[in-house]
Structure 1
Amino acid sequence: MSAIHPTAIVEPGAELDSSVAVGPYTVIGPHVRIGAGTAIGAHCVIDGHTTIGRDNHIFQFNSLGAVPQDKKYAGEPTELVIGDRNTIREFCTFNLGTVQDAGATRLGDDNWIMAYVHIAHDCQLGSQITMANNTTLAGHVQVGDWATIGGLVGVLQRMRVGAHAMVGFAGHVNKDVPPFMVVDGNPLVVRAVNLVGLKRRDFSEARLKAIREMHKLIYRQGKTLDEARTAIAALGEQVPEAAADVALMNDFLGSSVSGIAR
């Protein structure tokens, strides 16, 4: 039996694996591709040049692949690319990219996206991310792997949230959030290292100690950012087990354009 409900509309040209399930009254546009095992609930609209991977669970009332909320957009064939095994809850809106950036909005694998989340044009999201209800990402935002963003958080355009960082409830992200940090508030303030999250991911004591030391170097010793980066680089030589964590932090700090949350 077909897994596509008879009231759903799948336009000619769309490519759906035979195992894809589509709920009642959902509309799928002609340039959409959907991989094996993905389930799509009722009353969804999936449009544009949208590619969705395997084993995703997309709940009812979602809009994926609509044109960007950008006045410069002129109908170019930009993309939305969604990876594998993502959970996307109700009333989310993910937009296509624009030619002013890479031309694609991307979401990686194994992400947990709660209701009413907005992912604007050209956002680049990694994997294993959790975004709680009513999180809003403006255009060109980047979110690293394993980041957690609390409910009612607004992220200004072109900001970055680093890997393993956590943004607390109703935070206003108008600066880059370095990896491993916990931030919240408006104005945004760095509170501590995300120790709970890191321990859940089985970070060793040596790695945790190095990350706590990076926090001190950036936030507790009155150093300039360049001075902190120099000290952090030396830390990577002292604690080889944390070398990848140190490189992640230093690369993030060195590439910040908007400045980091303090």
Structure 2
Amino acid sequence: MPKIKLYQIDAFTDKVFRGNPAAVCVLDEWLEDEKMQNIAAENNLAETAFLVKRENDYEIRWFTPLVEVDLCGHATLASAYVLFNFYNHATDRLNLYSHRSGMLSVEKTGEELTLNFPIDVIEKAEAPKALVEALGNTPTATYKGKTDYLLVFASQQDIEAMKPDLRLLATVEARGIIVSAPGDEVDFVSRFFAPQVGVDEDPVTGSAHTTLIPYWSDKLRKKSLTAKQLSKRHGDLKCELLGDRVNISGKAVAYLTGEIDV
């Protein structure tokens, strides 16, 4: 049977068992969608990224255990780590194409990797009753982006104390729910819940920061920001608003390499 190399990388951290784990598979050609979905379900991580090389660039797709998603930051960071460290990518810039999110890039500066992603466009919204009830706290403001809700709260303590009703949260029509507040030691903090797509709480969510960075940049009147995601594993990010795109920077570390049979 053919074997596929599998890498598991902890993203947005420099220590194993922290940040957000992602699986990465670099393929010669695309597998059937069902097979990639089955691999992601078997991995049972928030995301599995699949890549196929096209000349000097790569195409990329991301799967949760349940569905393919439009964009994933931590699995893109993990993919870049794999290509730079295990596939000897020739330059310090990596170009990636997603058929759902367009052109993306990752730049390597020492151990730091910087994602360049398009911003999410958000609009003020009314929080669904089930959403507020599931979170057990009323936000000071609610926004809706392309796939996620953003709920803003007054303090970091509000975010830390949140214990959502995940079954009720799963009834809300959205990929996921971002909750955020000003940080005590960083510019802003967040958590991300996505039981709708099979991820109860994502440890560190790069794609959520395409929503968070424009919001907090406008609120705090600054282009460069520091952020922390307050999951149990925690994750640290450096953020920058660049017009209609954002830079999201962090580190990554390898947890395992192996092979899978398909």
| TM-score normalised according to structure 2 size | 0.27
Higher share in strand: 2
| TM-score normalised according to structure 1 size | 0.27
Higher RCO by CA contacts (8 Å cutoff, separation 6 or greater): 2
User: Rg: which structure is higher?
Assistant: 1
